[in-house]
Structure 1
Amino acid sequence: MRLADKVTLLRLYLLRGGYLLVVVGLGIKIWPEVINRSGSWELMDGVVQCMLLAFWALCVLGLRYPLQMLPVLMWELAWKSVWLILVALPIWASGHMDAPTMEMAITILWVVIFPFLIPWRFVFANYVMKRADRWV
């Protein structure tokens, strides 16, 4: 039995639901900004918009290939967790949380659903225990 066959159909649907949440939620936010923009973006705005579009496209693929696109969700979980711990938490703990940072933190907190969607046994078997690709 292949390892992918050990992931239940329910878990695959939950994963697809996570990808769908990103596709719809991010699509509602990002596509109008891309389509309706006039002129060029500032440097970092352009970088962020292009990264979000690429992430959106990879999540569209995740609807069809939820296990193959798991690294995309793990990357999302990783960077958002790091931001919450290293940026938002110290600001909040010091009592200096301003409105834009709080808004960003609330948006980023949606990442809390991903650990419940990701099939961690599959991740462990495929990314930790699986024999690495050859180097030479």
Structure 2
Amino acid sequence: MQSNSSTENESNNITRENNNMHDFIEKGAPPVPLWKTWGLRIIFAAMVIVLGSKQLNYILEGASEWNNWRGLGHSMLVTLAVLAIGGVFRPLAFLPIMIFEIAWKLVWLTVVALPSFLAGQDVPGIVNAKSSIIGICVLIVLIPWKYVWWRYVTLPIEPWRRKKQINDKTS
């Protein structure tokens, strides 16, 4: 049975650690220009409206007729549109979605579209190559890269396990 004072000390230590982390995060975050935040909100809203409506139409028209890979692609894209709803309200918290968007489009452009283009063939029409290139360029400008570096590289990682608590047993 733990005494009240050891339980209070543990909760005080946890509260102090959380406050220290909160202070570190608040004081250390690089400033993000308001225009970048609003630009990201607009891109997230466009993903919700344009991508969401397009993918919803594809799903309602006949998802049962798709092969596995086409179904996978449409499922991924509709999920991106749904998750983008959060980005409209909290664009910095949902930055990993935009980073994923850049990454998958760069992979698609490099692995699928570029070889077809260089071979003189039509670029597969699943994703519009020109709008993908423009979108990637806009996102590269809008993403606050200093903030991304600070948030995902320099902040301490979450612990793999909890520290063992030393309890004073006084009866």
Tell me the TM-score normalized by structure 1: 0.82
Specify whether residues 25 and 83 from structure 1 end up closer, same or farther in structure 2 by C-alpha distance, changes over 3 A only: same
Aligned-partner Cα distance in 2 for 1:58–1:108: 19
Aligned-partner Cα distance in 2 for 1:37–1:102: 16
> SS state of the match for residue 36, structure 1?
helix
CA contact (8 A) 1:18 1:117 kept: no
Following superposition, the deviation at residue 5 of structure 1 comes to: 7.6
Aligned-partner Cα distance in 2 for 1:38–1:122: 39
Look up the match of 2:19. none
Q: Which consecutive unaligned segments of at least 5 residues does structure 1 have?
A: none
Aligned-partner Cα distance in 1 for 2:150–2:40: 17
CA contact (8 A) 2:45 2:85 kept: yes
> SS state of the match for residue 53, structure 2?
helix
Look up the match of 1:19. 44
- Is the radius of gyration larger for structure 1 or structure 2? 2
Following superposition, the deviation at residue 66 of structure 1 comes to: 0.6
State how many pairs are aligned.
135
Q: Which consecutive unaligned segments of at least 5 residues does structure 2 have?
A: 1-22, 162-171
Look up the match of 2:18. none
Q: Percent identity?
A: 30
Pairing partner for 1:75 from 75, 96, 100: 100
Tell me the TM-score normalized by structure 2: 0.67
Aligned-partner Cα distance in 1 for 2:73–2:63: 17
Aligned-partner Cα distance in 1 for 2:116–2:61: 34
CA contact (8 A) 2:39 2:142 kept: yes
CA RMSD of aligned residues (A): 2.5
